């Protein structure tokens, strides 16, 4: 975990804690991997897909050359931005949910959390270790 200033809130939570708060219905899991990764590596059934590069582009951030090549799409429309913000607001504000960002290893999801927090979504966290850590969790006991 990266060192943070004492006054700065943590950006990561562990996979076991993330799964538990998602199971309790107080968190929304946002998978920030690209669609090709979901196809190759599989999805996390509990997660909504919000690819990080799309998120960055929707928020007006400049993509690196590599990111743009991976995304290879047109500029987002106002409708795209409106859809994204309504999706996030629905979960974060209307339902009061914590936003949990997840990627393969936890690195891109940290970037997504920083973007979301810069927009005022203070209850956004990265799942430490990403999908790799999530898949290593023991199965949930049926209740």
76 against 38, higher pLDDT: 38
pLDDT of residue 118: 84
pLDDT (tens digit per residue) in 45-56: 888 888 777 777
Of 22, 21, 20, 53, residue with least CA distance to 35:
53
Q: Count of residues for the chain?
A: 143
CATH class of the domain defined by 12-135: alpha beta
* Every domain of the chain and the residues it spans: 12-135
pLDDT of residue 14: 96
Region of poorest pLDDT, from 76-80, 125-129, 138-142? 76-80
Determine contact, residues 10/125, Cβ cutoff 8 Å: yes
Q: How confident is the model at residue 4 (pLDDT cuts 50, 70, 90)?
A: very low
Determine contact, residues 27/18, Cβ cutoff 8 Å: yes
| pTM recorded for the entire structure | 0.76
Q: How far apart are CA 67 and CA 52, in angstroms?
A: 9
């Amino acid at each position: 975990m990266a060192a943070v200033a004492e006054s700065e809130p943590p950006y990561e939570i562990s996979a076991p804690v993330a799964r538990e708060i998602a199971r309790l219905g107080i968190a929304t899991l946002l998978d920030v991997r690209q669609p090709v990764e979901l196809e190759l590596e599989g999805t996390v059934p509990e997660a909504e897909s919000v690819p990080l590069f799309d998120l960055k582009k929707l928020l007006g951030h400049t993509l690196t050359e590599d990111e743009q090549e991976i995304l290879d799409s047109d500029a987002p429309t106002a409708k795209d931005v409106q859809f994204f913000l309504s999706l996030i607001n629905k979960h974060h504000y209307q339902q009061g949910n914590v936003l949990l960002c997840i990627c393969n290893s936890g690195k891109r999801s940290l970037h997504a959390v920083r973007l979301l927090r810069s927009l005022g979504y203070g209850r956004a966290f990265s799942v430490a270790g990403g999908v790799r850590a999530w898949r290593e969790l023991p199965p949930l006991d049926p209740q």
